[in-house]
Amino acid sequence: MKFFVDTADVAEIKSLAASGLLDGVTTNPSLIAKSGRPMLEVIREIADVVPGPVSAEVTATDHTTMMKEAHKLHAIGRGRNDNITIKVPLTPDGLRTCKTLAGEGVMVNVTLCFSAAQAILAAKAGASFISPFIGRLDDIGEDGMVLIDDIVQIYRNYPAFKTEVLAASIRHPMHVVDAAKIGAHVVTVPPNILRMLFNHPLTDKGLDAFLADWKKTGQSIL
């Protein structure tokens, strides 16, 4: 499973990238707004830090303007890692834009997916990634993980579909584990959730015991 981090905080991205566990980044207009910085500047800086896919979302809702924004965003990656993935909403214009960009060899992340039917359309449009929103479905009393399971099963039935399932709207570590068990290709998580994956009280307890025993020996490896 690939790990993407869902943030526009460049300091956080640099810190997590240093761990060697980060495969990509997803952003959106809301996350960019929280940074308080110009969108293109933030995307450019992230693209320099992370060699893997960096999702940059268009803000237009019509196909023509989406294409103009997509080309401007995609140009940021040229001469660097060529890693900008254009993020489009799962709407008729968004899928039309996805189809056109895919034909140009541009990676596309289709976002705001809430049904398996939508995911089929995204795959038909040539999306590189489909982003089903687990947490938002859970919020309205549905089981978001069922959607992940449905999409993974459908895509497996059709080898011609190259779209990767990118589990999004992750709220806790078990979302990550459950998505991995089902077979999601990618998970995108907020920085705090990614760090939670390291934690277990027995790990901390065991390490404390090892260090206490070592201290008693009075030895040093160096």
pLDDT of residue 167: 98
> What pLDDT shows up at residue 208?
95
Which residue of the set 2, 72, 87, 216 is catalytic? 87
Which residues in the chain show pLDDT less than 50?
Answer: none
> Quick check: is 22 in a domain?
yes
Domain span at residue 101?
Answer: 2-217
Cα(14)–Cα(159) distance, rounded to whole angstroms?
36
Q: What is the distance in angstroms between the CA of the first residue and the CA of the last residue of the chain?
A: 37
Q: What is the pLDDT of residue 79?
A: 67
| String of DSSP letters for 129-179 | EEEEBHHHHHHTTS-HHHHHHHHHHHHHH-TT--PEEEEBS--SHHHHHHH
Q: Is 87 a catalytic residue?
A: yes
User: If you ran DSSP here, which 8-state letter would residue 128 be given?
Assistant: S
- What is the C-alpha separation between 68 and 166, in angstroms, rounded? 25
CATH code: domain of residue 38: 3.20.20.70
Please check whether residue 222 lies inside any domain of the structure. Answer: no
Over the stretch 41-99, which tens digit does the pLDDT of each residue have? 999 999 999 999 999 999 999 999 999 999 999 999 876 678 999 999 999 999 999 99
What is the pTM assigned to this prediction? Answer: 0.93
Asked whether residue 38 is domain-assigned, the answer is yes
Residue holding tokens 């541009």? 106
